[in-house]
């Protein structure tokens, strides 16, 4: 079917019907349709204008047709598919494009208004150009070049067989560890019961010596500027301070932690046995599995070193260098964090690693993860409670619930632990 017949389908039915009755030989030579107020429909055929009546096989109804102003308006709105404003940019340049890809020249009265550009006020004539595909053969040299480029060159493939890994046991009660924001947040009576205490390295000097034998120093997940150099220097200075080890949170930190017992933190994103085995081969002596890992997937991770999973904590949703609280407070007067309230009234805690400076901000889920009464369902060796902005009194309450495997006392979530089960 010639493109002419597809083009006239965009016109109102009363005009499209007689236009579609042109014989195929005639339609194939039509290049343009000219529609003007008070005039008959005219055609451009092979570069020359002619009236409808001069075309071989033209229907009498088309030859006798004269278009009035209302009909031109109807044709225009039909070509716009009833939505003139979507063609405003094109109309300001004197044309519009139909859904079939045909360009229509538009003539009439245009008005230029300050702040609104050029606006079409009245249509007096339309020129529908029939868009046809044009096939041009490629030069032989280019044809050969394209043929050569399309040849597939096979690459050497090295067969790889995925190793099999042992599964972790399920049903055993994991040991409890806890991560605290600072030493004041950790209850002294709870410190004795926990297998590990985890503190940010910035809090190292404030950790009592009695706790250091079971304390892991947590390295920042993201570091900018000279923070990495300062962290490496601090690790060297603390080498003989009696700490049990460090928690690395990105692979780059393995470069400057020689001499330390290494544990993997949240930032390593350990979710499968292959990544766990790789970190174990790099000297990591234990690792926290990503909390987005389902329990069934956790069971498959048993790298030969202890694994851990969060049993309590407000999960971090976002790390950002740009402060989301800057619109409501000045960095110089910031106490180190705040809250963001969403449209549902939920308060999201925001903390800053370096208040008043170039720190990294963390946005936390307002609803904590909790697995206290289901600790035996965690297929790991250690269950970690991660505390952020909780008061010491609240920390004691939550640890008591965990030690006694009690249900949580307020709203909580199981996270993604039970997905894909």
pLDDT digits (tens, 9 = 90+) for 85-97: 888 889 888 999 9
- Is it the case that residue 74 has pLDDT exceeding 90? yes
Q: Is 28 part of any domain?
A: yes
Q: Is 56 part of any domain?
A: yes
Is residue 184 very low, low, confident or very high in pLDDT (cuts 50, 70, 90)? very high
Contacts 24+ apart (CB under 8 A), 12-18: 12/74, 12/75, 12/78, 15/41, 15/65, 15/71, 15/75, 18/59, 18/61, 18/62, 18/65
Taking residue 413's Cβ as centre, other Cβ atoms within 10 Å add up to 14
Query: Do the beta carbons of residue 361 and residue 324 sit within 8 Å?
Result: yes
Mean pLDDT rounded to a whole number for the chain: 91
- Is it the case that residue 104 has pLDDT exceeding 60? yes
| Residue ending a domain, choose from 129, 153, 187 | 129
Task: Residue 396: give its domain's CATH number.
Answer: 3.20.20.70
Taking residue 402's Cβ as centre, other Cβ atoms within 10 Å add up to 24
Tokens found for residue 287: 């690792």
Between CA 130 and CA 128 the distance in angstroms is 6
By mean pLDDT, which of 152-156, 173-177, 375-379 is the weakest? 152-156
Q: Same domain for 103 and 186?
A: no
Is residue 356 very low, low, confident or very high in pLDDT (cuts 50, 70, 90)? low
By mean pLDDT, which of 9-23, 232-246, 348-362, 381-395 is the weakest? 348-362
Q: Is 87 part of any domain?
A: yes
Q: Tell me, what's the pLDDT at 294?
A: 95
Q: Same domain for 235 and 311?
A: yes
Q: Where are the alpha helices (DSSP H) in 168-272?
A: 188-193, 227-237
Task: Residue 105: give its domain's CATH number.
Answer: 3.30.450.90
pLDDT digits (tens, 9 = 90+) for 278-290: 999 999 999 999 9
Across 263-283, average pLDDT: 96
Q: Same domain for 181 and 285?
A: yes
- Is it the case that residue 327 has pLDDT exceeding 80? no
Is the overall model pTM greater than 0.75, yes or no?
A: no
Domain that holds residue 37: 3-129
Q: Tell me, what's the pLDDT at 1?
A: 62
Q: Is 334 part of any domain?
A: no
Q: Is 329 part of any domain?
A: no
3-class secondary-structure state, position 107 = strand
Q: Tell me, what's the pLDDT at 421?
A: 52
Q: Is 151 part of any domain?
A: no
Is residue 215 very low, low, confident or very high in pLDDT (cuts 50, 70, 90)? very high
Between CA 20 and CA 8 the distance in angstroms is 7
């Amino acid at each position: 079917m010639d493109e002419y017949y597809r083009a006239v389908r965009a016109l109102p039915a009363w005009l499209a019907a007689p236009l579609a009755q042109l014989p195929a030989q005639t339609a194939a030579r039509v290049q343009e349709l000219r529609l003007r107020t008070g005039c008959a429909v005219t055609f451009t055929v092979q570069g020359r204008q002619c009236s409808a009546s001069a075309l071989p096989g033209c229907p009498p109804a088309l030859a006798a047709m004269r278009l009035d102003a209302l009909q031109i308006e109807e044709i225009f709105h039909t070509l716009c598919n009833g939505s003139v404003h979507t063609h405003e940019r094109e109309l300001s340049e004197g044309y519009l494009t139909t859904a079939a890809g045909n360009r229509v020249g538009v003539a009439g009265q245009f008005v230029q208004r300050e702040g609104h550009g050029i606006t079409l006020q009245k249509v007096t004539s339309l020129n529908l150009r029939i868009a046809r595909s044009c096939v041009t053969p490629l030069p032989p040299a280019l044809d050969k070049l394209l043929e050569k480029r399309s040849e597939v060159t096979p690459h050497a493939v090295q067969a790889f067989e995925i190793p099999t890994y042992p599964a972790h046991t399920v049903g055993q009660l994991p040991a409890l560890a806890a991560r605290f924001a600072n030493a004041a947040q950790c209850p002294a009576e709870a410190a004795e019961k926990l297998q590990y205490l985890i503190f940010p390295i910035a809090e190292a000097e404030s950790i009592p010596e009695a706790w250091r034998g079971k304390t892991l120093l947590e390295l920042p997940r993201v570091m900018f500027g000279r923070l990495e150099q300062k962290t490496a220097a601090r690790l060297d200075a603390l080498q003989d301070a009696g700490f049990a080890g460090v928690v690395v949170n990105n692979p780059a930190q393995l470069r400057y932690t020689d001499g330390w017992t290494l544990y993997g933190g949240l930032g390593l994103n350990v979710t499968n046995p292959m990544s766990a085995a790789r970190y174990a081969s790099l000297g990591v002596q234990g690792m926290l599995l990503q909390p987005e890992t389902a329990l069934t997937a956790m069971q498959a991770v048993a790298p030969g070193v202890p694994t851990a999973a969060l049993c309590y904590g407000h999960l971090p949703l976002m790390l950002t260098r740009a402060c989301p609280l800057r619109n409501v407070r000045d960095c110089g007067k910031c106490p180190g964090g705040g809250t963001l309230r969403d449209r549902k009234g939920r308060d999201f805690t925001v903390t800053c690693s370096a208040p008043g400076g170039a720190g990294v901000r963390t946005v936390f889920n307002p609803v904590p993860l909790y697995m206290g009464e289901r600790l035996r369902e965690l297929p790991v060796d250690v269950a970690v409670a991660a505390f952020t902005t909780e008061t010491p009194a609240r920390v004691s309450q939550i640890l008591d619930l965990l030690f006694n495997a009690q249900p949580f006392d307020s709203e909580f979530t199981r996270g993604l632990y039970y997905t894909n089960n």
